[in-house]
Amino acid sequence: MRLRFLVLGIAAFGFAGGLVGWELSRVGIHQGYAPSQPIAFSHRIHAGDNKVPCLYCHYAARTSRHAGIPPASVCMNCHTLLEKQTVEIEKLKEAVQEQRPIEWIKVHNLPDFVYFNHSQHVLSEVACQKCHGPVERMDRVQQVAPLTMGWCLECHREHAHVATADFQRAMQNFSQRAVPVAGLDCTSCHY
């Protein structure tokens, strides 16, 4: 009888330890995170139905580490011309008139010790969907990829020898001889 309890106890302890280990391995992974935004912005309508290119709104992604959230004035480039009005468009127009920033909630977050540069990926012609998922089909943006170190390294290994002409030209503008391409060393992504 004692042996049975001992075996059951060890099994339960092992199972609980496995669950704790699994949960700890998922710390910082926010797959499926899709917060409600102050204005219900549909990427499906904009990027999908209307085929607005990602870089029209997120133009900083070409030249900056951060893609950035577009200022409301970019939205108004189209919405001042469109006759269709919705409650969400009215919220946008009100914010612009009051010169009040829209407090968007960031969806894709990396730890502080990770360095990620959007421009390097854009110049290397990595499709936005590779990391952000099929945003052109999302009414509410959600984090699709795990954005873990292993996930990033897998992609870097796949593309370790790929350098587009745009990226090579951009690197020549910085007077660098060696073109950094999908680095696998720790300092590529960590400080």
pLDDT of 173? 63
pLDDT band at 131, cuts 50/70/90?
very high
pLDDT band at 177, cuts 50/70/90?
very low
Q: At residue 152, does pLDDT exceed 60? A: yes
**What is the arithmetic mean of pLDDT over 92-121?**
95
pLDDT of 98? 97
Domain boundaries, the chain: 58-69+106-184
d(C-alpha 112, C-alpha 68), whole Å? 17
Based on C-alpha coordinates, what's the Rg of the chain? 22
**What is the arithmetic mean of pLDDT over 71-80?**
95
DSSP state of 35: P
pLDDT band at 102, cuts 50/70/90?
very high
By CB atoms closer than 10 A (0-12, 13-18, 19+), residue 112 is exposed
pLDDT of 24? 45
Q: At residue 71, does pLDDT exceed 90? A: yes
